[in-house]
Amino acid sequence: MRVATGTYTGDGQDSRAITGVGFQADVIFIQPTTSNAPVIKTSTMAGDTSLLGNSVLTANHIQSIDVDWFTVGTDVKVNENLQAMYWVALKDNSAGDLKVGSYTGDGLDN
């Protein structure tokens, strides 16, 4: 598995590219300093959606995962002006140590 980490300071601008990841990630985690809930996006999440903590998919957080960067929206949880944001990027290297997928729930227990 490939792992990269970094920080950036929010500027509140829409469609902001966070560059220098070094690879096209399968998973991006962003931990804002002003919230306990991380924002997560995987390569299987469609369009401009990402997951805030354990809630539903939401737009305007992590907008996309790109070749050597990811793009964030204006939401303060990922791009609050003058606030530090910490990120982790993960990439499967075909060693079987990272798998990303999705499924449709049926609402049943177990």
pLDDT under 50 in the chain at which residues?
Answer: none
pLDDT digits over 3-35, tens only?
999 999 999 999 999 999 999 999 999 998 887
pLDDT attached to residue 56: 81
Whole-model pTM: value is: 0.89
pLDDT attached to residue 24: 96
pLDDT attached to residue 106: 86
Cα–Cα nearest to 2, from 23, 19, 18: 23
Residues 6+ apart with CB under 8 A from 109: none
| Residues 101, 18: Cα–Cα separation, whole Å | 24
